[in-house]
Chains A and B, each alone.
Chain A
Amino acid sequence: MLYDLFLVLPMAIVVIGAIVLMLLRFSPWLSVINRNFITIVILGISLCIDVLHYAAAPDTFVFVDIFGHGFVVDTFATLFDMMFLGGAMLTLLINNEYFKSRNYFDGDFFALLLFGVFGMMILAHANELISAFVALEIASLSIYVLVGYNTANPKSPEAMMKYIVLGSLMGALFMLGVALVYGETGSTIIGDIYQHIASHPHTNHTLIAVGGLLMIVTILFKIGAVPFHAWVIDVYHGAPLPVAMVMASTFKIALFAITLRIYLIDFEPVYAVWSQSLQIITALTLIGGSFLALIQDNIKRMLAGSSIVHAGYMMIALCSIGAGDKLAASAIMFYLISYFLSSVGAFGILSFLTAKEHKHLTFEDFRGFGFRHPYLAVMMTIFMLSLAGFPSTIGFMGKFYIFVSAIESGHVYIALLGVFVAFVSIFYYFRLIAMMYFNKDEGKEQEFAFDTSTTLIFLMALLTVTGGIGMGLIPYLPSADGFMDIAREAIGSLVR
């Protein structure tokens, strides 16, 4: 019992911290920066305990007499926990300047963010569909409110409206899928459903196939795959920048955590039913996302469009899992980290720049940027190269593993389409680089401002490059191959 408490301690710390921050809402002696610092400390303590857990490699259900087999602590979930906590910490640190420059960030913002992270952690640990749904709703509801946080700007509540109407509609579809699966199997625990399918090999499993399809529709909506992409660009545009960063990185990682858990264990026998539709959606996502990113003039909207394309790359690997490829699941995890580093870095530069002036940055605003801010421009170039998948950056390694897994599982056409889309993406990423360097501007060169945000951005640029060249050169740090081994081990803990 006591050991169980120790195992759930990271989540407990996060949720207690959220409640404490909520109670300190009206305390006059806490500035925004102090609150940001407290939030980071809470996440940091939780991360340290998670590292301890990871070293002990637990694989057990916790509080069996209360939750049954609904709540699991294993290497897979602990690794994902570490990714959420580290991601949220980096996002908060990078936005330090942005929090200072806006007056609408109060105590509730950080409490809601912590509740969102708590929901994502539960999502990674959920071994039961109802718990997964409740966790998904905890995370989503926090994100809905955070999107509409800047009530002074009419765009922000409008983005929230677009997100919550479609999001709760899709939540209902997820629940319908759960109800249908429950109707056939009489259980919502993921292992039990697998047992049921395995012990009835000669039935059709229509309800499970339909229910699984409804659940994956919800997840595809949340990651922004193309027939369900209508909200992505608007919501990213209207949301405050820190929230857009959380949605693009941490929340997406959480969604892939539950996707991998459900579809690696559960629905293996009914893959054939929907693997075709998943491939079509992948192709649509790659093409449609590129088109949407091509036509944007606003950098924030362009990054939102490109996030659809990156979701498409990860879905290539999801198709390969259906075809039984061993590399695919760990390729997704590696790609999530590489995408996290480069997109949060790029968003971080945007947030650092908009902290000074109150407007949305367009391509035109970057004219001559390379002469005004030479160091920031170099970092932006690194992030753009990594997003485009240029060799010697971590983005290249991520795409490499994805395409290898697709070719190994026989989806050559999808891999070819992915390579083609990567070529198209060079247009909109290099447009920014060309804008920064090939246009002379009258502006004077400005000093490199040393503070929390720029230091963190520099660190992430460094990680992006070392991840691509090979972290194996540095002792005691896992290289790209090393991380693939870690991910494979975690996936191994999942498939019992």
Chain B
Amino acid sequence: MPEYYLALAALLFCIGLVGAVSRRNLFVIYMSIELMLNAINLMLATFARAQNDHGGTVMALLLIAVIASEAAVFLSMIITLFRTNRTIDADFFTNLSQEQNP
């Protein structure tokens, strides 16, 4: 029954997409993006099982490595931003907006 797994993956992906677009806390945005990538992992594993081909599982493993390296960069950025500004609200950062740089 690969359809159920694909439906679950699509649901998780949509939850992640909505979270990444609508939330303002950088941590929550980051977790939403992770959720999207892990939904794709589930999708790859499902396709691999349905087609009886192990390529998909290997891709999922590679994707986990990419997610981990992205986590390192993202979290260190959040720490840097918090150190200087004492906030991680995405709406707070307006130094580069068009109004301030005509």
Q: Please report A residues at the B interface, Cβ cutoff 8 Å.
A: 130, 133-134, 137, 141, 144-145, 148, 151, 154-155, 157-162, 164-165, 168-169, 171-172, 175-176, 178-179, 182-183, 186-188, 233-234, 237-238, 295, 297-298, 301
Contact = CB atoms under 8 A, between A and B. Distances in A.
A182 B73 contact: no
A234 B96 contact: yes
The 7 closest A-B pairs by CB, nearest first: A234-B96, A172-B36, A183-B47, A158-B93, A186-B51, A179-B43, A175-B40
Given A179-B47, A182-B44, A183-B47, A168 B70 contact: yes
B47 A237 contact: no
B81 A157 contact: yes
Secondary structure at the A interface, as helix, strand, loop or mixed, is: helix
Contacts of B33: 165, 168-169, 172
Q: Is the interface of B mostly helix, strand, loop or mixed?
A: helix
A179 B46 CA distance: 10
A175 B37 contact: yes
Contacts, number: 102
Interface string B33-56: 100110010011001000101011
Nearest to B81: A157
A364 to B, nearest CB: 12
Given A182-B44, A237-B101, A141 B96 contact: no
B36 A186 contact: no
Contacts of B69: 137, 141
Nearest to A236: B96
B20 A169 contact: yes
B51 A164 contact: no
Contacts of A295: 98, 102
A154 B101 contact: no
Contacts of A160: 77
Contacts of A188: 55, 59
Contacts of B36: 169, 172, 176
